[in-house]
């Protein structure tokens, strides 16, 4: 349900953590990688943008995982911390349903991967909002991926269409 006060509160916490909203990334290279079905390339590019130095792989699945999710990532109980050598030596697997890749618009796939990588970003800084799905979407938006969520809200996003528009408005006012 649409809750502007909740969303504004989450956004201001994330803005404080990340010291403001980043310029949006150029969408073209991401769309080119998706067109080539280079999903590992997309994930690597997002990891670079978000300063996650770990090895990444994609698990393509037909079934399993959380019922409602198109994509998910399992985090270790003790999360390696940002800037640590443990994080550099870590490996994360982002799982994605093959049928999601078959039907989702390219921008929605990028948004979903940016969401999963944002779980990692919030995890490695032990952020109090790391388990809040709306905050995870907002983190991806704060860190440069806001325009990819335009076509995502009905497919995989956690923000309603109105909340998404509201957040874009707040971000453009900064």
Interface ranges with Zn ion (CB under 5 A): 133, 136
- Sheet-wide strand order for 71-73: 55-61, 91-97, 71-73
Indicate the residue among 20 and 66 with the shorter CB distance to Zn ion: 66
Give the nearest distance from C-beta 71 to Zn ion in angstroms.
8
Q: Which is nearer to Zn ion, 28 or 124 (CB)?
A: 124
In Å, how far are 13, 15, 82, 118 from 91, measured between CA atoms? 28, 28, 14, 15
Shortest approach of Zn ion to residue 158 CB, angstroms?
A: 7
Would you say 84 or 126 has its CB closer to Zn ion?
126
Shortest CB 133 distance to Zn ion, Å? 5
Q: Which is nearer to Zn ion, 18 or 158 (CB)?
A: 158
């Amino acid at each position: 349900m649409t809750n502007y006060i909740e969303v504004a509160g989450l956004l201001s916490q994330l803005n404080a953590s990340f010291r403001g909203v980043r310029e949006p990334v150029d969408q073209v290279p991401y769309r080119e990688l998706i067109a080539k079905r280079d999903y590992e390339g997309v994930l690597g590019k997002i990891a670079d943008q978000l300063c996650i130095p770990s090895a990444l792989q994609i698990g393509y699945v037909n079934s399993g995982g959380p019922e409602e999710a198109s994509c998910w990532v399992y985090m270790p109980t003790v999360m390696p911390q940002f800037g640590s050598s443990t994080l550099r030596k870590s490996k994360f697997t982002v799982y994605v349903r093959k049928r999601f890749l078959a039907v989702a618009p390219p921008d929605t796939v990028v948004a979903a991967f940016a969401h999963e990588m944002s779980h990692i970003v919030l995890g490695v800084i032990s952020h109090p909002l790391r388990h809040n799905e709306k905050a995870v979407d907002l983190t991806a938006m704060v860190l440069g991926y806001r325009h990819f969520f335009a076509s995502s809200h009905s497919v995989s996003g956690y923000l309603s269409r109105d909340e998404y528009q509201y957040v874009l408005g707040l971000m453009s006012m900064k």
